[in-house]
Amino acid sequence: MAGNMLANYVQVYVMLPLDVVSVDNKFEKGDEIRAQLKKLTEAGVDGVMIDVWWGLVEGKGPKAYDWSAYKQVFDLVHEAGLKLQAIMSFHQCGGNVGDVVNIPIPQWVRDVGATDPDIFYTNRGGTRNIEYLTLGVDDQPLFHGRTAVQMYADYMASFRENMKKFLDAGTIVDIEVGLGPAGEMRYPSYPQSQGWVFPGIGEFICYDKYLEADFKAAAAKAGHPEWELPDDAGEYNDTPEKTQFFKDNGTYLTEKGKFFLSWYSNKLIKHGDKILDEANKVFLGCRVQLAIKISGIHWWYRVPNHAAELTAGYYNLDDRDGYRTIARMLTRHHASMNFTCAEMRDSEQSEEAKSAPEELVQQVC
């Protein structure tokens, strides 16, 4: 009987407050957090999860890492006998559901964007999104000689070096690698900060000069130098049938549309692949599970075009499994997937959204 109970045991982790480390990279809530951790231990919780904000730790300048505040938090978690899941948070806190504090990406990185705004994700109207660097600069040495991927790799290497004590002790059990806005591997296709309202289809976000050049090169290589990025996919709050791209027999079903959607989703998967490659090198020999977060985009799931998934970068249709390719990439890195809508019920969703979280979770899991 005890064996059966252990086999069915589900570990419980509790998210620490987003601002457990303050916006000036200080840990000022020692007594409060110690008391909360004690309660969690008494309740039988296994551990806690924490965002380790890039904007705080490397906020002062390139490679000027300051881990002191996080070390103090980790010490308390270790003392409480709890496990720790650490999120490498390369995105901005602020502008998404549940964000109660504002922690931008490092100022010196944003300063690069003052002269080259194309380092940020850009929609067709030219609006920039400063939550996370565009994956178009993954391999561009624009940041004091480093590429975006090198910055993320250096950050993780510094984390390993500075948190050796907690890694060796087995306190840190999971490293979730942030790969986009809200830490999720997706494009920022539905930003509340820019007026998106549920259940808008969102927009394709690939109009910075780096991704545009990449698409043009890919189209030319495929024998279609005349192809451009979509100009018929509507705006954040449109419904699919209002657009030429997503309507019945729309652009998404044409050769050009399929080529674009494959390119758009493959760029996202390659982005995850590259950064997980670096994470695997950095944490080689550590007893940690690598993970990424995938957004559960359940609205417009019940219509053939799956518009909201497509704009986010998940090329999923009724006859095309867009999550299998992501799962294959994760298998290569022995990484797991954290999915964001597992607790939702179809019956709780509005009819107009054509939402199906239960079917989506069934498909992905």
Question: Can you tell me whether residue 56 is helix, strand or coil?
Answer: helix
Give the lowest-confidence range in 2-11, 26-35, 320-329: 2-11
pLDDT band, residue 58 (cuts 50/70/90): very high
- For residue 96, the model assigns a pLDDT of 59
As a whole number of angstroms, the distance between CA 226 and CA 168 comes to 55
CA dist 157 to 11, 61, 336, 339, Å? 28, 16, 20, 26
Coil, strand or helix: which one is 31?
Answer: helix
Alpha helix stretches (DSSP H) within the chain: 2-7, 30-42, 54-57, 68-79, 107-115, 148-162, 164-168, 209-221, 255-282, 307-312, 324-332, 357-364
Task: Judge whether residue 99 has pLDDT over 70.
Answer: no
The DSSP element (H or E) to which 339 belongs, if any, is strand 336-339
Encode 231-241: b = buried (16+ Cβ within 10 Å), e = exposed. Answer: eebbbbbbbbe
Compare 99 and 266 and report the one with higher pLDDT.
266
Determine the 3-state secondary structure of 15 from DSSP: strand
Answer yes or no: is pLDDT of 170 > 90: yes
* 209 alpha carbon, distance to own chain's centre: 22
> Is residue 3 predicted with pLDDT exceeding 80?
no
- pLDDT surpassing 80 at residue 159: yes
The model's confidence at residue 1, banded by pLDDT at 50, 70 and 90, is: very low
pLDDT level of residue 98 (50, 70, 90 thresholds): low
Using the predicted structure, report yes or no on whether residue 100 has a pLDDT greater than 50.
Answer: yes
pTM of the entire predicted model: 0.95
Give tens-digit pLDDT for 21-44.
Answer: 999 999 999 999 999 999 999 999
Give yes or no for residue 350 having a pLDDT over 90: no
* Average pLDDT score, the chain: 95
**What confidence tens digit (pLDDT) does each residue in 276-307 have?**
999 999 999 999 999 999 999 999 999 999 99
> Crossing angle, helix 209-221 and helix 255-282, to 10 degrees?
120
If 0-12 CB within 10 Å is exposed, 13-18 middle and 19+ buried, where does residue 304 land?
Answer: middle
Q: For the residues 249-277, what does the mean pLDDT come to?
A: 98
Q: Assign domain 8-195+267-364 to its CATH architecture.
A: Alpha-Beta Barrel (3.20)
| 167: pLDDT strictly greater than 60 | yes
Percent of the chain with pLDDT over 90: 90
Asked whether residue 191 carries a pLDDT value surpassing 50, the answer given is: yes
What integer pLDDT is reported at residue 365 of this predicted model? 81
For the chain, the structural domain boundaries read: 8-195+267-364
The pLDDT of residue 349 is: 87
Average confidence (pLDDT) over 256-279: 98
Q: Where is average pLDDT lowest: 238-242, 320-324, 344-348, 359-363? A: 344-348
